Amino acid sequence: MSDEIFFAEDTDDEIEWQGKWKVLIVDDEPEVHAVTKLALGDFVFQEKDLEFISAFDGEQAKRMFLEHDDIAVVLLDVVMETDDAGLKVAEFIRNEVNNHFTRIILRTGQPGQAPERDVIINYDINDYKSKTELTAQKLFTVVISALRSYRDIIVIEENRQGLEKIISASADLFSIHSLESFIEGIVQQLASLLGGTKDTAYLTSAVVGPKPIEQYNCSELYVFTGRGEYQNTEGNRLEEVISGRELLSCQQAYANKTMICEDDYLVVYCDSKTKKGSLLYMSGLPRKLTETDKHLIKIFSQNVQIAFDNVLLNKDIEDTQREIIERLAESLEENFGSVNHTKRMIKICEILGRAANLSKEDLKTLCLAVPLHDIGKIRISDHIMLKSGSLDKEEMLQVRNHAEIGYNLLKDSNRPLIKAAALIARDHHEYWNGKGYPRGKSGEGIHIFCRITSLADAFDAMRTKRSYKEAWPLEKVMEVIVAEKGQQFDPKMVELLQQNIEEIESIMQSLTSES
């Protein structure tokens, strides 16, 4: 290890902290308060002076800790209303308030009353001084040391919180929500290492208005996540949230793929190996950045963009999977004359699933799987499927067999999505009262995916034109569905359909085409 690291100079004067250091004086003698304030009157540490708070007994001191959660140092008398009043306050701070940040300096005029060795061993305090030895200079030294410790502990805690966000996001890093947590966590850590920043924005071309991470090849930059001034600007264009010389710096950093650091803000380009890069913008910098700071920022920009690229890759895989399934379902639609049936089914199932409080993951699985609900019809002859008149008994049996056919086509997969699709294909014609097919399941014995699909499928079939019928008016459709509440359909699903009928009808109007 080099001497440069071993004997690095103290860099306290490089870091600026805002506000004041709160110092609580706890003593039953008013003269001690006055002398302490006089001795530390011109005290300044890292360009912050002291804010004194006074308490004259143990109970008042406890109240101060309930009212202030940012006391940096407490100068605590041991003997006040009782011989151990100060020790009880120390216990209260650590064990009841659960404050392990404040530096506790015990002061006593009667050292024999509370022996230093016993106190240090049995209580979580940071220093123990006799009042007679605390000259003005020694008091200054003790407070400086305590404030340095408090400062470092607070920085460590901020880093811990940032790391906690990253760890909590890592279990599901490739979802959009956890990516936001991941970036926010790293930004928080970075801001802490830099001494705190007021405003931060992470901007990328992969976020576009109502379709996040959809059109990531566009040339404009949008806010993906922000803090401070930019906290509620997600989805806004760069030019809408940043202006003046800061905007010019952003444009220059993006064009030249570089970092631009000014006195009060910085912009850093986050390079991407597969997509267009992104920008990290931070304003309200508390101090001039060192070379170490800039190195940390570069590491941040590289690793965040890698995570972002991974999300985009995962999204691309999911979109490809969804598109293949939907295109397969749409090819069946073209054969059987039910245009846009798949798109309507996805939207209606999404509305009903959300209203039924399905988890985010279950709702996603349902919407991906439901296009395959009629996959078994691929084995039913076009003569039957496109027949304009009524089906005879034999033809009806063949059509009903599509449920088992679809299940058999999909059942052997180990993929959760395909398993869900197999279940929906088989059971979406089961009835709540047990009189459906193919297996006569009933009530909640029918998976909720299938109960939702059953109602959505029936609603769409009645509301749209088919080769064998005209579209029914909404009033007639709802009359039939309400009559089948608790018979063919899950009563709760029927209620949810009624509650959301305006949104569903809007989808029907926008996606209904003449076949």
Collapsing DSSP states into helix, strand and coil, what is residue 504? helix
200 has which bridge partners?
227, 282
Looking at the fold, whether 291 and 415 belong to one and the same domain comes out as no
276: annotated active-site residue: no
Looking at the fold, whether 111 and 218 belong to one and the same domain comes out as no
Looking at the fold, whether 288 and 182 belong to one and the same domain comes out as yes
Which range has the worst mean pLDDT, 12-16, 172-176, 194-198, 369-373?
A: 12-16
For the chain, what is the domain count?
A: 3
The pLDDT, as a whole number, for residue 16 is: 44
Looking at the fold, whether 285 and 341 belong to one and the same domain comes out as no
Single-letter code of the amino acid located at 370: V
Looking at the fold, whether 405 and 374 belong to one and the same domain comes out as yes
- Let me know if residue 164 belongs to a domain: no
Looking at the fold, whether 288 and 191 belong to one and the same domain comes out as yes
Closest C-alpha to 105, from 94, 90, 118:
90
| 225 CB-contact burial (10 Å; exposed 0-12 / middle 13-18 / buried 19+) | buried
Looking at the fold, whether 282 and 361 belong to one and the same domain comes out as no
- Let me know if residue 323 belongs to a domain: no
Looking at the fold, whether 204 and 304 belong to one and the same domain comes out as yes
Q: Catalytic one among 62, 315, 377, 441?
A: 377
Looking at the fold, whether 346 and 378 belong to one and the same domain comes out as yes
User: Rounded distance, CA 273 to CA 352, Å?
Assistant: 40
Residue 362 has pLDDT above 80, yes or no: yes
Under a CB-based contact definition with an 8 Å cutoff, are residues 283 and 198 in contact? yes
User: Rounded distance, CA 296 to CA 292, Å?
Assistant: 6
Looking at the fold, whether 375 and 463 belong to one and the same domain comes out as yes
pTM over 0.75? The answer is no
Each residue's pLDDT tens digit, 232-261: 888 888 899 999 999 999 999 998 988 998
For the domain that residue 136 is a member of, what is the CATH number?
3.40.50.2300
Looking at the fold, whether 297 and 210 belong to one and the same domain comes out as yes
Residue 272 has pLDDT above 80, yes or no: no
- Let me know if residue 493 belongs to a domain: yes
Domain boundary among 275, 310, 345: 310
- Let me know if residue 322 belongs to a domain: no
Each residue's pLDDT tens digit, 367-418: 999 999 988 888 877 677 666 777 778 888 888 889 999 999 999 899 899 9
Domain span holding position 18: 3-154
The pLDDT, as a whole number, for residue 105 is: 93
Under a CB-based contact definition with an 8 Å cutoff, are residues 288 and 268 in contact? no
- Let me know if residue 326 belongs to a domain: no
DSSP string, 334-402: HHHT-TTHHHHHHHHHHHHHHHTT--HHHHHHHHHHGGGTTGGGGGS-HHHHT-SS---HHHHHHHHTH
For the domain that residue 460 is a member of, what is the CATH number?
1.10.3210.10
Position 165 confidence tier, pLDDT thresholds 50, 70, 90: low
227 has which bridge partners?
200
Each residue's pLDDT tens digit, 125-155: 888 888 888 888 899 999 999 999 999 998 8
- Let me know if residue 160 belongs to a domain: no
